[in-house]
Structure 1
Amino acid sequence: MKLWIRMTWLLALPCLAACHRGMEPVAFHDDGYPPALSDWHVVEARDGVLQLNQGVVPYELNTPLFTDYAHKLRTIWMPKGVSAHYSATDTFDFPVGTIISKTFFYPIPASEPRNAKDVARTYDTRRDFAGQGLNLANVHLVETRLLVRRKNGWIAIPYVWNADQTDALLARTGDVQPLRLISENGEREDFNYVVPDQSQCVSCHARDWTTRALQPIGPKARHLNRDYRYADGDENQLTHLTRVGYLTGAPAPADAPRNANWMDPHASLDARARAYLDINCGHCHNPKGAANTTGLTLDISTPKDRHIGICKPPTAAGQGTGDHFFDIVPGHPDDSIIPYRLSSTQPGTMMPEIGRSTVHKEGVALIKAWIAAQPGECVVLH
């Protein structure tokens, strides 16, 4: 299997040499909202491939945010002569002119006949990529979100891919697409994929709820400290970003923080669960985030005491609690509020509040297993 994957990669390399042919240079727009993704020339659908332009660097996260089982192609581009400044804990300090893109897509199911709304529910990415771009014969593109660093701060701009998969068009008011997930065992699940409107981006990307200034979530040391298979071979992402001039001040990868991969069987259950909660919940549940009034902090730096929810009563009762008394009841996941809310798709109950229409079954199973392994007990005072 490893030989097959390596041979597939080698066969894809000739595509990389052609990836930039005919593409205009990346265009940074310092104001306004260009009507099409192709106006930026960051990624473009050409010759059956979603191609990355010159200087557009792909990256992945150790543990990604869940979005209805969508796969994601993430990229960073910066103008020449500038770099981001490293931080051990926070989002890197990116310069004006930076464009971060995230393309949401699904593999196309192998089963036939296929309805146009059918997409695969799988973690297998082997058929997705052509070089560092995406093989459009094997994937269905849904949306591409841009985070653009302008003089007055970050701005989020959403684009939705057209039916022909030739370009993505501006969608400031969001979009809803009915899709059907098809699992490898043939199980089907109909759902509405929701593209957030532009104003909703602040609910996740405002790290400081007082200023409500947008910040990228993923480009932090602990999320990026991992290897990526670039065109010229495997390399640690922090090392690569430093080598190409996109990052300054980063230590050796061994000296930088690193979150676990939530699916890594070799990592501890605690490390996997904390990484999952960090990326999916920590951007709101932190002392300055949108959920700071709840007293529940779920980013990776939170010590394992009541702040992370162990024997912590909720700040409000009602629908969102499921009549449970504590966010986390050690040893009893079915009595805990956190997995109850992760398992819901009902407005007012589900968490996260936006960004998904389906339940992440594997993610819920991880958090339940983690809670089941916690020692101790909670006392209900009457």
Structure 2
Amino acid sequence: MMKYCLRAGLLLALLLVSACHRGLDPVAFQAEGRPPKLSDWHVVEVRGGKLVLNEGVVPYDLNTPLFTDYAHKLRTIWMPKGVAAKYDATDTFDFPVGTIISKTFYYPKTADGKFSDVARTYDSSRDFAGQGLDLANVHLVETRVLVHREAGWAAIPYVWKDDQSDAELARTGAVIPLTLVADAGEREDFNYVVPDESQCSSCHAQDWVTRKIHPIGPKARHLNRDYHYAGGEENQLAHLMKVGYLTGAPAPAEAPRNANWMDTHASLDARARAYLDINCGHCHNPKGAANTTALTLDVSAPEDRHLGICKPPVAAGRGTGDHMFDIVPGVPNDSILPYRMDSADPGVMMPELGRSTVHREGVALIKAWIAAQSGGCVAIH
């Protein structure tokens, strides 16, 4: 009976994958230019009321994701046959020319079905259908394509049409009025901002000297987790090795791994550091856009002034909230870091791009982390 169930499960998985691929042209690596439609890439396309993944397009997720106005995200990666990314224990993997990474931002639909209403929820149980998204249950907003060409990486944003049939090129970005609806019925109007190409590049330029852009999420510590693929659950690093998209990776147990910020079984410190790493570390590092602040928020920073503990801000202004230090151990309400996270004012908020709302649960996590720290800061006169 067990063998029969396993065979039946495998057959079902294969049928799901086959159904996803049916009728799709092969993935098209666009070596130059900006294709006007997302479907020109043939990476993900709408078929039969579902957003489906093409053959060879591998979905993935991160241990702790970047916050974007409570949006859910479907991340994918595709590579031409015969090439693979090279593993790196610390930095973004070395992806070959021809790699296409996509990230689709979407929201679960609300019970009332109003198009501009989207659910503020962490529940993704109704999102997926096989390897794709069930459009009966989700509202697609945008898809960002990151493609590795001979001249380097290019970031190309697309905005989904109201009829959800395809996404159109949006080089200058877009502003989409939406309303977040919580499970208890609380409503929050906001403008979802799709970044333009230059804003995409500013976040993805991890080295502010060369200004060359790179992917942010595909690092070992973010990818070292299980994913429920159409064929079953498997560690993502092991899966990428198995399908030939990655070389040189150690066993998952030997690779670095960030905590899931929502996992209360992990330590408060590990959860907070993982949250700051993915949300802030791509700018706040020695080579990043915020390197002049002397504030390092990636996971490598020691827990001292580099991390902001008792460090006065480099520049004064409204962004400090009249607070003296980035982090005051034990006193989150006197700390600049959560003050800026807890604002949606463009002159105060951090991060400066990528959100229009406050991540309440993220702010609560960082405040709890600071509150648990011991010590104090000497006031500057």
Same-fold status (TM-score > 0.5):
yes
Partner of 2:251: 252
Measured in 1, the distance between the counterparts of 2:50 and 2:286 equals 42
1:58-73 aligned within 5 A: 58-73=59-74
SS in structure 1 of the partner of residue 228 of structure 2: strand
Number of matched residues? 374
Code of the aligned partner of 1:62: N
When structure 1 is superposed on structure 2, of 363-372 and 9-18 the one drifting more is: 9-18
Partner of 1:3: none
SS in structure 1 of the partner of residue 176 of structure 2: strand
Code of the aligned partner of 2:124: T
Code of the aligned partner of 1:285: H
Partner of 2:5: none
Partner of 2:3: none
Partner of 1:237: 236
Partner of 1:156: 155
SS in structure 2 of the partner of residue 19 of structure 1: helix
Contact residue 70 and residue 106 of structure 1 kept, 8 A: yes
1:366-381 aligned within 5 A: 366-381=365-380
Identity, % of aligned positions: 77
Structure 1: runs of 5 or more not aligned: 1-7
Query: Structure 1, residues 143-202: CA drift from partner, whole Å, max 9, x if none?
Result: 000000000100000000001000000000000000000000000000000000001112
1:318 deviates by 1.4
CA RMSD of aligned residues (A): 1.5
Partner of 2:344: 345
Query: Structure 1, residues 243-292: CA drift from partner, whole Å, max 9, x if none?
Result: 00000000000100000000001000000000000000000000000000
Change (3 A) 1:13 1:138: farther
1:132 deviates by 1.4
Code of the aligned partner of 1:61: L
1:311 deviates by 0.2
Partner of 1:226: 225
User: Is residue 2:93 matched to residue 1:74?
Assistant: no
1:120-159 aligned within 5 A: 120-159=119-158
Contact residue 273 and residue 299 of structure 2 kept, 8 A: yes
Partner of 1:114: 113
Code of the aligned partner of 1:180: T
Contact residue 13 and residue 230 of structure 2 kept, 8 A: no
Code of the aligned partner of 1:250: A
Partner of 1:35: 36
1:116 deviates by 1.7
User: Is residue 2:260 matched to residue 1:261?
Assistant: yes
1:16 deviates by 2.9
1:381 deviates by 2.7
Code of the aligned partner of 2:301: T
Code of the aligned partner of 2:143: T
User: Is residue 2:187 matched to residue 1:188?
Assistant: yes
SS in structure 2 of the partner of residue 362 of structure 1: helix
1:213 deviates by 0.4
Contact residue 237 and residue 252 of structure 2 kept, 8 A: yes
Partner of 2:197: 198
Code of the aligned partner of 2:141: V
Measured in 2, the distance between the counterparts of 1:233 and 1:170 equals 34
Contact residue 309 and residue 327 of structure 1 kept, 8 A: yes
Code of the aligned partner of 2:262: M
SS in structure 2 of the partner of residue 155 of structure 1: strand
Measured in 1, the distance between the counterparts of 2:16 and 2:258 equals 32
1:134 deviates by 0.2
Contact residue 260 and residue 272 of structure 1 kept, 8 A: yes
Code of the aligned partner of 1:29: Q
1:271-286 aligned within 5 A: 271-286=270-285
Structure 2: runs of 5 or more not aligned: 1-8
Code of the aligned partner of 1:93: D
Measured in 1, the distance between the counterparts of 2:345 and 2:214 equals 28
1:9 deviates by 12
SS in structure 2 of the partner of residue 101 of structure 1: strand
Contact residue 88 and residue 220 of structure 1 kept, 8 A: yes
Contact residue 13 and residue 131 of structure 1 kept, 8 A: no
Partner of 2:269: 270
- Report the TM-score, using the length of structure 2 for normalisation: 0.96
Partner of 1:5: none
Partner of 2:307: 308
1:17-28 aligned within 5 A: 17-28=18-29
1:115 deviates by 2.4
Query: Structure 1, residues 221-262: CA drift from partner, whole Å, max 9, x if none?
Result: 000000001111111000000000000000000100000000
Measured in 2, the distance between the counterparts of 1:359 and 1:10 equals 44
- Report the TM-score, using the length of structure 1 for normalisation: 0.96
Contact residue 16 and residue 131 of structure 2 kept, 8 A: no
Contact residue 12 and residue 130 of structure 1 kept, 8 A: no
Measured in 1, the distance between the counterparts of 2:82 and 2:12 equals 33
1:347 deviates by 1.1
Measured in 2, the distance between the counterparts of 1:70 and 1:12 equals 27
SS in structure 2 of the partner of residue 367 of structure 1: helix
Code of the aligned partner of 1:103: T
SS in structure 1 of the partner of residue 21 of structure 2: coil
Contact residue 162 and residue 168 of structure 1 kept, 8 A: yes
User: Is residue 2:210 matched to residue 1:207?
Assistant: no
SS in structure 1 of the partner of residue 172 of structure 2: coil
